Structure 1
């Protein structure tokens, strides 16, 4: 590499003298530049803003202090912000207002040690609003590292402005965050551009959006905060933190696995139960998210705390479930029965049997006929049988004779005195009532055995 002597002439140094110096190596230095603000009304409230740009030369790393004093008459300006640029690389702004129309030149001085440079910004104020545009956007954006975010930048024309506006973005610091604008050209000075922020490292960044159209220039600043992305993780919770069961009966609850920060790995579950109670999980492994059923049972009353341990990736979490086991409630007494039947049903059956027997006796146990001209004298007998041809009277047993002329009804147990029946003999039959009674008893026996 060839090295040539150079002569550096400084006409703006603090001592004011012009000096020439020979150097064999490049001299580190910096530059100061300023933009021309837009033309604004001279109303004393509408401000025009100039951007001050400081850039290093040949690796200069000193801090550059900025000032704008003295100011022209009839011009009011805010303090330069920031007042110092570290490492001689960065931007600053200054805003001014005036109630008197005209153009005002403001000299911006940048000083670092014995090195001093300046730049001039011209502020123009008019009696009426000149054609211009404004640019607006949100003041801050937050996102996590390795993610993206967007914000809208809006350009609005004023005073009949209809020129094309180009928008650009700069980031400070320049590494760790990138910004793109789509579109970068807004026809007729009106429209919206989308700013897309992509972060690769945490930190606070200053994004300056500048809109330029011929002699008009406006800018806005967006502060972008980038934080560390959350660690891949998951959470475990129980649908019911406590369950109540009876001794000998199982109880269940659900365990829920919820991923966070993009966790996609498997989670293994294990249950730990104290003595006196047994618990199980189904399933015991879940892929990033899902549920598992916890089943517990115990024959010993008491309060038990069950711990469920979930392990996934580098994370381990636990959940607890309280199980209260109560004494088994005594069984309700069996309803009383008679021969296997409810009392009401049993008594209904017995009443039916009695009614059937009485009805059968009245229908079938009476004389088959009588003689029309038989004497009306009657005797009440205490006992008669179907095989006898005589009945016992209160005064003794008397014969009963039959004749073929016996027709007509007779009351059971009341026979005519000295009645004469030809044939056949009187039939007092019990066969059908016996059969009915036997069937009913068999039915009761079947119902009782069932």
Structure 2
């Protein structure tokens, strides 16, 4: 990779970020491969793969070089972890390390003043978040022989030259065991959103469908609320409907991932004493830094004096992927309604549902419908009840949660993006050494005819 030669004075170490600036990173996915058959995927790799996003927020600038950063990690099980990191951008002291470096550095500059500080390899233009930036690149590869093979660790950091924030980090760790196999771990973490340079602020959009409907007093009807991530927005959005006496939401909070969409069901309920007229329901979605509204127009007409029926569907509690959630469908006869009501469903992609049982109800009664999915998410399911030329629809939500996982513990941060990355590097070396020792002992036992002892694995 050719460097861009730039004339510059001796480096002046100072922060290029301001308090309140932030950057988000995702995904923290780790590719892990073991062909030896002796080293299963470590827990810290699973923890990294359970991380949805990581956001670093500049909290305090104590001096021109002393920076404190708040790091917020969001996990797939909707838990969060907050840590604080502090470091000196000139000396490299503290646990901030590679997360932020001084601004204005370029090729050939040491990232800190201490004697063992690494040196920037290249300064060149690269595009991040749709904007061309001048970046500093540091990459190192170390190889060393072991008793049973070779090991190689490659690390690459890419920083924004103006602000000093890290834009991308790559790690590759390989342990070779000739004639047996190898162990490989790789991750590439990139910036997904920031307010440091001129990219749109992460946001979300809220929409209602349909935006208007009418119903008789005594009936209920539903509309689907859709939230869509914009510009890398990731996080929890709380929903509220007004007037709350008539409108309810299921679920009333949703987690958005970057570029994704999620749905909730708004149910507008009336009684036979509800006054006919026009109503406006306002749905408000509130995220960690912004909120948006959407409106639904409802027309309530006088209740029918003749016989008719209503249909409702319960919103089951969230279940984990692979488990079934069951909604109860209730058909109610009003004003002496008598007849057979046929129930059908419209199932969204990604959700698998059994048959509605029973599929017909005479006069009044209940039926059930069970659904499941292997893909976590919130699914909107529509039920249609038909009698002759009259039909009513109702929607319900099926929420599938990821299998529960333990929130990773929070050791002191060593590397800039996430503390567990450091332990991934150290941990895999420890695991590999342990495996190599085991293989060596087994080889010696077989060579000298010594029977191997039973082994006990200590978690």
The TM-score with structure 2 as length reference comes to: 0.29
Q: Whose Rg is larger?
A: 1
